[in-house]
């Protein structure tokens, strides 16, 4: 029964004035998604107005934090890894089958969420210097979490090696139900193929095939390889540019063909020794997922922690966009590339995850927006845009 309140009369009158939503837009039931898996992919491409205005280029960023399972591009990869394993008969729901992965966080979060949806368990090995938000989130998703000291890849306790051996221990243990499956994001074909079949085609469709460059960091290399392998076939002229943090060997590899610059100081070469606040990108080995698209990369841009933190602040200050560290690195490199290319170009990059996942580390070191601080100018973030750091 309707009450006779003035508010309700007002609402009834307003309803009469509304255009008929169903008639004008048609039924929308096809918009209902099949579980969280249905919320993966088809992310929006955002024109970053501040960076576009400041550079005279059009800077577009794929909002990968909108992926609806684990809120990062790793949702695409985790789904691809799980579906490939299911097709190969390697996973049986509710049998105790457990997915093991070495991850700095995002892939683990995506795997843990999809495992829950599909009746598997997740066991995640991660370095203990990653933001605590990620391991907290993994625990809330019911994953088993092992945090280990950062170590070089030759160390058996390095997080990826540990995940691989934990998977084997599980399979070999007759007392454990189900099998252990090592997801192996660094080496598996399912990783770059996820970006080849979804991220790349989406970028092509959303830009109408009109773009001059694609900018991305590399953690496994799956994103940059998969997107490049797709785009370069249709657009051979598109520039592929790697955004790389200090301590990663990929920058030197792309620029000079060697992972380590002999002039760089000992102890600053290795990613795990550099103590950067940027998480998820930068490596010191050529993974399969990087290697498969390596020859398509045209250039690399080194991005410092300070630049990434300033960019993160800029994006909040000017656009209300609150992102994590790898997204900020991507945007610094995109802006720097815009300066190098000159006005009138169109550059696509990725916003990988939300700043909420980085509050205790990256954002704890980043100066908060407001508080009477002066607005940053792009020249403060890119002081040496023309003299590139080596
Ligand atoms: N951003 C974040 C937040 C990540 O966790 C990762 C992957 N570890 C990347 C970017 C890099 O993506 P890719 O592994 O496809 O190179």
Using DSSP, state whether 89 is helix, strand or coil.
Answer: coil
Distance CA 373, CA 387 (A): 28
Give the per-residue pLDDT at 72. 98
What average pLDDT does the segment 233-239 reach?
98
Report whether residue 243 contacts ligand 1, using a CB cutoff of 6 Å: no
pLDDT higher than threshold 80 for residue 370: no
pLDDT band at residue 2 under the 50/70/90 scheme:
low
pLDDT band at residue 173 under the 50/70/90 scheme:
very high
Structure confidence by residue, pLDDT tens digits, 108-142: 999 999 999 999 999 999 999 999 999 999 999 99
pLDDT higher than threshold 90 for residue 39: yes
Report whether residue 133 contacts ligand 1, using a CB cutoff of 6 Å: no
pLDDT higher than threshold 90 for residue 18: no
Give the per-residue pLDDT at 282. 94
Q: Is the ipTM of this complex over 0.95?
A: yes
Maximum pairwise Cα distance, the chain: 81
> Is the Cβ–Cβ distance between 30 and 316 less than 8 Å?
no
Distance CA 250, CA 304 (A): 14
224 alpha carbon to ligand 1 midpoint, in Å?
10
* Nearest Cα to Cα of residue 57 among 378, 327, 335: 335
C-beta neighbour count of 154 within 10 angstroms:
8
Residue nearest to atom 6 of ligand 1 (CA): 280
pLDDT band at residue 384 under the 50/70/90 scheme:
low
100 alpha carbon to ligand 1 midpoint, in Å?
18
CA 234 to chain centroid, in Å, comes to 24
Give the per-residue pLDDT at 273. 58
State the average pLDDT for the chain: 93
**Mutate which of 106, 227, 293 to test ligand 1's pocket (most atoms within 8 Å of Cβ)?**
106
C-beta neighbour count of 264 within 10 angstroms:
14
CA 134 to chain centroid, in Å, comes to 14
pLDDT higher than threshold 60 for residue 153: yes
Structure confidence by residue, pLDDT tens digits, 282-323: 999 999 999 999 999 999 999 999 999 999 999 999 999 999
Q: Which two tokens stand for residue 92?
A: 């049986």
386 alpha carbon to ligand 1 midpoint, in Å?
27
280 alpha carbon to ligand 1 midpoint, in Å?
5
Characterize 189-225 residue by residue with b for buried, 16 or more Cβ atoms within 10 angstroms of its Cβ, and e for exposed: bbbbbbbbebbbbbbbebbeeebbbbbbbbbbbbbbb
pLDDT higher than threshold 90 for residue 4: no
Characterize 323-358 residue by residue with b for buried, 16 or more Cβ atoms within 10 angstroms of its Cβ, and e for exposed: bbbbbbbbbbbbbbbbbbbeeebbbbbbbbbbbebb
pLDDT higher than threshold 70 for residue 344: yes
C-beta neighbour count of 146 within 10 angstroms:
17
pLDDT band at residue 260 under the 50/70/90 scheme:
confident
326 alpha carbon to ligand 1 midpoint, in Å?
7
Distance CA 122, CA 82 (A): 11
332 alpha carbon to ligand 1 midpoint, in Å?
16
pLDDT higher than threshold 50 for residue 388: no
Give the per-residue pLDDT at 390. 43
C-beta neighbour count of 288 within 10 angstroms:
17
pLDDT band at residue 268 under the 50/70/90 scheme:
low
What average pLDDT does the segment 209-235 reach?
98
Percentage of the chain modeled with pLDDT above 90: 81
Query: Which CA distances in Å does 335 have to 209, 224, 367, 385?
Result: 21, 18, 20, 9
pLDDT higher than threshold 60 for residue 340: yes
Structure confidence by residue, pLDDT tens digits, 46-89: 999 999 999 999 999 999 999 999 999 999 999 999 999 999 99
Report whether residue 218 contacts ligand 1, using a CB cutoff of 6 Å: yes
């Amino acid at each position: 029964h309707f009450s006779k309140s003035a508010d309700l009369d007002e609402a009834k009158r307003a309803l009469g004035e509304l255009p008929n939503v169903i008639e004008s837009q048609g039924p929308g039931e096809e918009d209902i998604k099949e579980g969280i898996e249905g919320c993966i992919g088809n992310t929006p491409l955002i024109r970053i107005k501040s960076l576009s205005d400041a550079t005279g280029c059009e800077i577009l960023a794929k909002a990968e934090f909108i992926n609806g399972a684990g809120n990062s591009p790793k949702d695409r990869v985790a789904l691809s890894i799980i579906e490939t394993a299911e097709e190969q008969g390697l996973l049986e729901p509710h049998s105790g089958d457990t997915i093991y992965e070495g991850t700095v966080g995002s892939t683990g979060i995506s795997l843990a969420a999809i495992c829950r949806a599909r009746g598997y368990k997740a066991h995640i090995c991660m370095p203990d210097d990653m933001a605590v938000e990620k391991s907290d989130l993994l625990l809330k998703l019911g994953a088993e979490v092992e945090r280990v000291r950062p170590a070089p890849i030759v160390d058996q306790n390095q997080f990826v090696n540990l995940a691989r051996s934990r998977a084997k221990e599980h399979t070999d243990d007759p007392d454990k139900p189900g099998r252990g499956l090592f997801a192996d994001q660094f080496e598996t074909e399912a990783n770059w193929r996820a970006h080849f079949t979804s991220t790349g085609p989406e970028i092509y469709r959303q830009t109408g095939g009109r773009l001059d460059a694609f900018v991305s960091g590399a953690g496994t290399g799956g994103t940059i390889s998969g997107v490049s392998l797709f785009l370069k076939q249709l657009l051979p002229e598109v520039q592929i540019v790697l955004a790389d943090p200090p301590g990663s060997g990929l920058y030197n590899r792309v620029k000079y063909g060697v992972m380590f610059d002999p002039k760089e100081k000992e102890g600053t070469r290795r990613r795990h020794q550099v103590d950067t606040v940027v998480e998820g990108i930068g490596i010191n080995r050529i993974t399969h997922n990087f290697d498969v698209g390596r020859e398509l990369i045209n250039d690399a841009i080194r991005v410092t922690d300070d630049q990434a933190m300033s960019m993160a602040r800029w994006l909040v200050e000017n656009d209300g966009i609150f992102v994590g560290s790898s997204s900020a690195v991507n945007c610094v490199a995109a802006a720097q590339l815009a300066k190098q290319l000159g006005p009138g170009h169109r550059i696509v990059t990725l916003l990988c995850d939300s700043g909420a996942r980085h509050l205790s580390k990256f954002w704890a070191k980043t100066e908060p927006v407001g508080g009477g601080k002066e607005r940053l100018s792009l020249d403060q973030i890119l002081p040496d845009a023309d003299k590139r750091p080596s």
